[in-house]
A and B are shown apart, each in its own frame.
Chain A
Amino acid sequence: MQPILEIRGLTKTYKGGFTALKGVDLSINKGEIFALLGPNGAGKTTLIGAVCGLVRPTSGTIHVFGEDMGRHWRRLRAKVGLVPQELATDMFEPVLRSVNHSRGLFGLPPKPELIEETLRALSLWEKRDDQIRTLSGGMKRRVLIAKALAHEPELLFLDEPTAGVDVELRRDMWKQIAVLRERGTTVILTTHYIEEAEEMADRVGIIRKGEILMVDEKAAMMERLGRTEALITLAAPLTEVPEAVSAYPVSLIEDGKVLCYRGGGGEGSSAGTAEVAELTKALTRAGIDYTSIDIHESSLEDIFVNLLEGPDAPAQGEAA
């Protein structure tokens, strides 16, 4: 499949010497929702800025729809939309005029029916004559989304789209993004909320200190890096791991009161749960009684935290 966005060896070093991107390689497929996860300062916004023309890359290439962004920026920018992280727009403008302005800025003739549809979908139609400054934070963010959609982009960047938005609005936005995907828009979003990536993304990229640590399909990542954790509360504390279960990846915690199992293949894999079942049978055979079992699979958040905080963060995964 022809990638809609292909980034190769993208580097950005700012004036002060800080390198925000260190040779990033990334490919985005048409029609997918791609979540870029990373802590503050990881380079997410710089990466988006480089594609959208806000940041001048130090080196590397960006191809959008198979064409070099640097050479054909005028044609290619017309197909790309951006919702920035900051609530940055002329706050004194009424909503409708501001959204129409965005469409005109991209050189397109007015299309009232599209603008009305977009504003209605984002619950902004009733507020169309209100100055943006009078809206709540969540509604302002919707205005920015409406502005980014006004020129019907085929590739949409959402930089922390739900930052500071309450849970209800956040779920509404997820629905909107799902609608965009149905229409064939490719969406790249950066987020701190793992739940957001888990909920929406087809693929997830993890970035740290300007380097892509891993890019994979969400399900594959969770299967490959996920783990099963089982906490078996013992009827009587133990001083050491019994010989009968020492072959399993277990350890004693909480002063020997709990036997902790960490292993298996995580979500989508039954290896962990099957092994826990074997473990409990082994305990019973050894006459070791237990009072409860708490078992759960790693979430994307666990994987994310492990990748970022682990001493040996993996090298970049599959070629994205």
Chain B
Amino acid sequence: MSLFNARSAWTIYKQELMRAFRTAMQSILAPVLTTTLYFVVFGAAIGSQMSGGVGGVNYGAFIVPGLLLLTILGESTSNASFGIYMPRFTGAIYELLSAPVGVAETLVGFVGAAATKSLILAAIILATASLFVDYSIAHPLYAFCYVLLVSASFSLFGFILGIWADSFEKLTIVPLLILTPLTFLGGTFYSIDMLPEPWRSIAMANPVVYLVNGLRWTFYGKSDVPIALSLGLTVLFLAICVGFISWVFRTGWRLRT
């Protein structure tokens, strides 16, 4: 028997996507509505008062990559974490654990589905943004690849979270108390260059700064940090997550008693 069963992976992937569409109001409409509100409040209301924009980019357009990332980080993390936590919570995980399914099929299924949902959301949000602001994407292919990379990385992170959590509180605490503040402070709504010292230096310790600026570079060709650094750190994060999940499957940590 081969080391990767594509049909098993496809089965998990399909199931997870169906679960998302079953809860479309929560999975798709809610984040789109939230992001739309950001565009209205920050892009249209506040942005209209900033005549010079940021770094030569209209403020409404400037925040598009940041808002996109805000949604991708939150949704990738929560979708993947719920995807694996719910069967653990209900006991239905027995079926996965007793099947001839390894770490590769599981990741392609759960993480692939979560990343796909994020990509669908990203497309909807970009379409919604075009209704409010006039923006352009300088490097569309890079932008797509970068969004894919970040979606996959944070879906992996969410998967780890879903395995680690032993309560619904723990499941939501990381996105709410860690991820969201880091994203807001990570240059979603402003350029790091606008901060005075020492806040600027402190902000550089926030990993989300590199993610936001990486995506912003694909949109406008400029960012606060080098794109290579953003890309390198994202790939490193992805590799760490994959390594950790491989360890989880090898040892059965939190999965097998």
B92 close to A90 (CB less than 8 A): yes
Closest B residue, CB atoms, query A46: B257
CA distance A75 to B94 in the complex (A): 18
CA distance A248 to B68 in the complex (A): 90
CA distance A224 to B98 in the complex (A): 37
A88 close to B7 (CB less than 8 A): no
B82 CB, min distance to chain A CBs, angstroms? 12
Specify which of B19, B98, B101 is in contact with A52 (CB 8 Å cutoff): B98
A88 close to B91 (CB less than 8 A): yes
CA distance A74 to B8 in the complex (A): 12
Given contacts A73-B100, A78-B1, contact A102 B95 (CB under 8 A): yes
By a CB distance below 8 angstroms, the chain A residues around B90 are 88-91
Which of A106-114, A115-123, A208-216 contacts the other chain?
A106-114
Given contacts A74-B1, A92-B22, contact A147 B95 (CB under 8 A): yes
0/1 string, A83-105, CB within 8 A of B gives 1: 01010111110000000011011
Given contacts A104-B8, A108-B7, contact A56 B91 (CB under 8 A): no
CB of A53 within 8 Å of the partner chain: yes
Given contacts A56-B257, A78-B1, contact A105 B94 (CB under 8 A): no
By a CB distance below 8 angstroms, the chain B residues around A75 are 1, 100
0/1 string, A110-150, CB within 8 A of B gives 1: 00000000000000000000000000000000000001000
B91 close to A86 (CB less than 8 A): yes
A92 CB, min distance to chain B CBs, angstroms? 7
Within 8 A of B (CB), among A35-78: 49, 52-56, 73-75, 77-78
CB of B10 within 8 Å of the partner chain: yes
CB of B41 within 8 Å of the partner chain: no
CA distance A262 to B176 in the complex (A): 70
A77 close to B94 (CB less than 8 A): no
0/1 string, B89-114, CB within 8 A of A gives 1: 01110111111111000000000000
B91 close to A105 (CB less than 8 A): no
How many A residues touch the partner, as a band?
Answer: 20 to 34
B162 CB, min distance to chain A CBs, angstroms? 15
B46 CB, min distance to chain A CBs, angstroms? 41
CB of B15 within 8 Å of the partner chain: yes
CB of B26 within 8 Å of the partner chain: no
B256 close to A53 (CB less than 8 A): yes
CA distance A269 to B8 in the complex (A): 53
CA distance A71 to B92 in the complex (A): 25
A84 close to B94 (CB less than 8 A): yes
A113 CB, min distance to chain B CBs, angstroms? 18
CA distance A147 to B10 in the complex (A): 18
CA distance A312 to B1 in the complex (A): 48
B256 close to A55 (CB less than 8 A): yes
Specify which of A55, A78, A89, A106 is in contact with B92 (CB 8 Å cutoff): A89
Closest B residue, CB atoms, query A87: B91
A82 close to B94 (CB less than 8 A): yes
CB of A193 within 8 Å of the partner chain: no
Closest B residue, CB atoms, query A90: B92
CB of B252 within 8 Å of the partner chain: yes
A125 CB, min distance to chain B CBs, angstroms? 22
CA distance A147 to B99 in the complex (A): 12
A54 close to B97 (CB less than 8 A): yes
0/1 string, B176-189, CB within 8 A of A gives 1: 00000000000000
A85 CB, min distance to chain B CBs, angstroms? 9
By a CB distance below 8 angstroms, the chain B residues around A106 are 8, 99-100
B98 close to A107 (CB less than 8 A): no
Looking at A52, A73, A104, A108, the one whose CB has the most chain B CB atoms below 10 A away is A104
Residue contacts A-B, CB under 8 angstroms, 30 given: A14-B257, A53-B98, A53-B256, A54-B97, A54-B98, A54-B257, A56-B252, A56-B256, A74-B1, A75-B1, A77-B100, A78-B100, A84-B91, A88-B90, A88-B91, A88-B92, A89-B90, A90-B15, A90-B87, A90-B90, A90-B92, A91-B90, A101-B11, A104-B10, A105-B95, A105-B96, A105-B99, A107-B7, A107-B101, A147-B95
Chain A residues proximal to chain B, CB less than 8 Å: 14, 49, 52-56, 73-75, 77-78, 80, 82, 84, 86, 88-92, 101-102, 104-109, 147
